[in-house]
Amino acid sequence: MKLLFRALVKYLLGLLLVGALLFLPAGTLCYANGWLFLGLLFLPMLALGAVLFCKAPALLEKRISAKETERAQKGVVALSGILFLAGFLVAGLDFRYGWSNVPLWVVIVASAVLLISYALYAEVMRENAFLSRTVEVQNNQTVVDTGLYGVVRHPMYAVTLWLFLSIPLVLGSWWSLLCFLPYIAVIAVRICNEEKVLEAGLAGYTEHKKRVKYRLFPFIW
């Protein structure tokens, strides 16, 4: 019950925070793209949280309690937070002042990409019981090389990148997309640091890198 309470509190706080960041700068609650985004993100999140609570409570605990200890990763997390804050605020202001004209078909495609990315994110969590929000090597951790982990070494980052870059288009803002684009570089820095940690502390990871050559995108990087 304690885990359930903590998870629900964190969920509701996240919903309220994102809602405030969108609707306050928009100056109105009549921001259809804002409501669309909240539904696309938080309803699947609630469903995934319920599944984790019933099937893998230890993983849910890990996801809501983890804090970065790596110095480099603390900077990455801080910069990510700034980018998201700016992206949501700019999207709300964009709606208020009509800076962008994102076609409906782009919003629909972006919504589909967001949902598919979230489904793949859930699949990655199913494949890897050691998945954490922090960069660390856990007790008894082993290399996972099945499913999406056999395609790229960091499928979680790959799908979250597609998810995050679809957000500003769901919100109907080209200017917000500019705020989110630097997240690509942020992910690259995080991956490079994470691989150093895994090579140093996780047995078999160096061999895994030889078997699975690409980090995020097959034939690209």
Lowest mean pLDDT among 17-26, 51-60, 153-162: 51-60
27 inside domain: yes
- The answer to whether 89 touches 96, Cβ cutoff 8 Å, is no
Residue in this structure with the two tokens 């919003």, named with its chain if needed: 107
Looking at the domain assignment, is residue 219 inside a domain? no
In a domain, 221, yes or no: no
The answer to whether residue 133 is domain-embedded is yes
Distance CA 7, CA 176 (A): 29
Give domain status of residue 161, yes or no: yes
Mean pLDDT of 108-118: 95
Are the C-beta atoms of 49 and 122 separated by less than 8 Å? no
CB 97 within 8 A of CB 176: no
- Asked if residues 211 and 144 have their Cβ atoms less than 8 Å apart, the reply is no
pLDDT of 189 strictly over 90: no
Residue 218 lies in a domain: no
Question: pLDDT above 70 covers what percent of the chain?
Answer: 88
Q: Do residues 136 and 68 lie in contact, with contact meaning Cβ atoms separated by under 8 Å?
A: no
| pLDDT tens by residue, 27-36 | 999 999 999 9
> Based on the structure, what is the number of domains in the chain?
1
Domain that holds residue 135: 2-211
CATH number, residue 71: 1.20.120.1630
For residue 13, is it within any domain?
Answer: yes
Whether 217 is covered by a domain: the verdict is: no
The full 3-state SS of 54-122, as one line of letters, equals: HHCHHHHHHHHHCCCCCHHHHHHHHHHHHHHHHHHHHHHHHHHHCCCCCCHHHHHHHHHHHHHHHHHHH
Q: Which pLDDT tens digit goes with each residue over 125-175?
A: 777 766 655 545 555 667 777 778 888 888 888 898 999 999 999 999 999
